[in-house]
């Protein structure tokens, strides 16, 4: 912006204002604004302004806290009483919820620009930028890579391109192929493969049934995302993974989609219990994610029939001694009702998963045996197994029909 406007540009990080000695940060703010005014017109950019711009009065340092003094000085400099000063102040933060209200009033930071994650078209354009210096093979199709990367930021896409180039270089190839790009998606999402982490025969069987349970439940439920890949090769901290991606980007999620997602998350838990009559520590992360989603449905999104359209929890409380503290605005009785409703959602989801895996037990066995043999099943092979056993794979047309029926 400064380049287009042809004005001077000053950049500083919010953390540079914070010092042990009270008054140093405020002095730096005065010096910065004095310099900007001398060279006006100018733009000042403060990165990570939440380092000094947090709500006052929440800390334990009292009124003479260094950070509060610095914030007060910023507020004074931006008071708006000097209309002839041609200085524009811009700032960036990924925590706008913790900023002091005085910073956000008209006359100070009165324009808020939210940078969302890129959609599919944007991702393709970003990939083109990061691919300018990369030698590509003839089979590379960036549109497919953009389709398979919902939720990726620009930094994730940059990392994806670098990982693909590294994979090609490791195999002594001079060009990056589509196969490298597809593999690098999982590397960015889940971490590198841990080939050294060798599972015992029993663990391999348990992991195969666990992941097959996830995939089968997701494929049968109408509102769950389609499965793109199943693997029992360790990545990061996961012994195996089921990669499911939406057919197209979406900004809104419905109650039915949430319920199907929770049932899919419990697919591995149910499969382990059904096949082996015992449970392992494998489903622990699935249970955490599913329970958090069920609680959000009840307390944030008003998706509980018994609780009704009430938001019972905010976006997060204040931080005290490094831990989050939520001010509960409901009674113990309502808290017990919330717990009961969360438990009901989880129980219903488990029943749904149990019914699917019981009805399609033969398909569960087929997928699991195939996983044990080859360790990884790609989408094409997986859909062939589904079709052979009378399960129709999800297509984009099905998604449009679902949206019509929901609306």
Half-sphere exposure of 139 (CA within 13 A, CB side): 8
Structure tokens at 383: 């859909």
Lowest-confidence range among 36-40, 42-46, 316-320? 316-320
pLDDT tens digits along 147-197:
888 888 889 999 999 999 998 999 888 888 888 888 888 888 887 777 666
> Residue 239: what pLDDT?
80
> Residue 401: what pLDDT?
36
pLDDT tens digits along 280-325:
888 888 999 999 999 999 998 889 888 888 888 765 544 443 444 4
pLDDT reading at 14 higher than 90: no
Find tokens 């990369």 and name the residue: 134
The DSSP H or E segment spanning 73 is helix 66-77
- Distance, in Å, from the CA atom of 292 to the CA atom of 187, rounded to the nearest integer, reads 26
Question: Is residue 211 flagged as an active site residue?
Answer: yes
- Distance, in Å, from the CA atom of 274 to the CA atom of 279, rounded to the nearest integer, reads 9
> Residue 368: what pLDDT?
93
pLDDT tens digits along 225-267:
889 889 888 887 778 888 888 877 777 889 999 999 999 999 9
- H helices of 304-331, in order, are none
Query: Of 383, 367, 356, whose CA–CA distance to 222 is shortest?
Result: 356
Question: Looking at per-residue confidence, does 364 or 404 come out higher?
Answer: 364
CATH superfamily of 2-104: P-loop containing nucleotide triphosphate hydrolases (3.40.50.300)
pLDDT reading at 404 higher than 70: no
CATH topology of domain 120-190: Helicase, Ruva Protein; domain 3 (1.10.8)
Q: What percent of the chain has pLDDT over 70?
A: 88
- Distance, in Å, from the CA atom of 319 to the CA atom of 268, rounded to the nearest integer, reads 35
- Distance, in Å, from the CA atom of 263 to the CA atom of 314, rounded to the nearest integer, reads 26
Q: Where are the domains of the chain?
A: 2-104, 120-190, 201-406
> Residue 186: what pLDDT?
83
Q: Give the pLDDT mean for 76-105.
A: 81
Instruction: Evaluate whether 137 touches 175 at the Cβ level (below 8 Å).
Output: yes
Query: Of 219, 345, 232, whose CA–CA distance to 291 is shortest?
Result: 345
Confidence category of residue 65, pLDDT binned at 50, 70, 90 = low
Find tokens 């990570």 and name the residue: 48
pLDDT reading at 357 higher than 90: yes
Q: Give the pLDDT mean for 120-128.
A: 90
pLDDT tens digits along 276-286:
998 888 888 89
pLDDT reading at 80 higher than 80: no
Just give the CATH number of 201-406.
1.20.58.760
- Distance, in Å, from the CA atom of 221 to the CA atom of 403, rounded to the nearest integer, reads 15
> Residue 330: what pLDDT?
81
pLDDT reading at 124 higher than 50: yes
- Distance, in Å, from the CA atom of 252 to the CA atom of 402, rounded to the nearest integer, reads 14
Exactly one of 205, 211, 272, 383 is catalytic; name it.
211
Instruction: Evaluate whether 230 touches 211 at the Cβ level (below 8 Å).
Output: yes
Question: Helix, strand, or coil here: 258?
Answer: helix
pLDDT reading at 203 higher than 90: no
Structure tokens at 168: 């090609």
- Distance, in Å, from the CA atom of 230 to the CA atom of 243, rounded to the nearest integer, reads 6
CA distances from 337 to 138, 256, 344, 350 (A): 59, 21, 10, 20
> Residue 360: what pLDDT?
93
- Distance, in Å, from the CA atom of 295 to the CA atom of 292, rounded to the nearest integer, reads 5
pLDDT tens digits along 370-389:
999 998 898 889 999 999 98
Angle at 384 between CA 402 and CA 397, to 5 degrees: 20
pLDDT reading at 109 higher than 60: yes
Question: Helix, strand, or coil here: 77?
Answer: helix
Query: Of 190, 204, 9, 178, whose CA–CA distance to 87 is shortest?
Result: 9
Q: Quick count: other Cβ atoms within 10 Å of Cβ 6?
A: 7
CA distances from 307 to 8, 174, 340 (A): 55, 60, 10
């Amino acid at each position: 912006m400064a380049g287009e406007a042809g004005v001077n540009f000053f950049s500083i990080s919010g953390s540079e204002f914070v010092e042990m000695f009270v008054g140093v940060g405020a002095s730096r703010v005065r010096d910065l604004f004095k310099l900007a005014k001398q060279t006006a017109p100018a733009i000042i950019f403060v990165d990570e302004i939440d380092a000094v711009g947090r709500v006052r009065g929440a800390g334990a340092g009292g009124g003479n806290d260094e950070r509060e003094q610095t914030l007060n000085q910023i507020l004074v400099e931006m008071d708006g009483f000097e209309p002839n000063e041609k200085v524009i102040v811009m700032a960036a933060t990924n925590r706008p919820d913790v900023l002091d209200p005085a910073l956000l009033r008209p006359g100070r930071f009165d324009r808020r620009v939210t940078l969302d994650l890129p959609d599919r078209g944007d991702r393709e354009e970003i990939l083109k930028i990061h691919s300018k210096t990369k030698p590509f093979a003839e089979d590379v199709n960036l549109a497919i890579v953009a389709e398979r990367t919902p939720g990726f930021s620009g930094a994730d896409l940059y990392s994806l391109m670098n990982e693909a180039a590294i994979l090609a270089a490791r195999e002594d190839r001079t060009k990056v192929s589509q196969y490298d790009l597809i593999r690098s998606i999982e590397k960015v999402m889940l971490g590198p493969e841990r080939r050294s982490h060798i599972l015992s025969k029993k663990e391999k069987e348990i992991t195969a049934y666990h992941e097959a349970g996830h995939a089968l439940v997701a494929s049968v439920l109408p509102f769950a995302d389609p499965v793109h890949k199943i693997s029992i090769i360790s990545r990061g901290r996961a012994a195996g993974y089921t990669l499911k991606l939406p057919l197209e980007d979406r900004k809104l999620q419905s109650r039915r989609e949430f319920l199907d997602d929770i049932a899919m998350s419990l697919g591995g838990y149910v499969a382990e219990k059904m096949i082996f009559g015992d449970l392992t520590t494998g489903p622990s992360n699935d249970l955490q994610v599913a329970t958090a989603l069920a609680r959000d449905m009840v307390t944030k999104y008003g998706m509980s029939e018994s609780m009704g359209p009430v938001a019972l929890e905010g976006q997060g409380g204040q931080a005290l001694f490094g831990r989050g503290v939520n001010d509960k605005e409901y009674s113990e009785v309502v808290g017990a009702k919330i717990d009961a409703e969360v438990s009901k959602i989880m129980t219903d989801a488990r029943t749904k998963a149990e019914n699917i895996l019981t009805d399609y037990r033969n398909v569960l066995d087929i997928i699991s045996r195939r996983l044990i043999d080859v360790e990884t099943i790609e989408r094409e092979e997986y859909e062939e197994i589904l079709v052979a056993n009378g399960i129709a794979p999800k297509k984009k047309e099905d998604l449009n029909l679902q949206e019509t029926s929901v609306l």
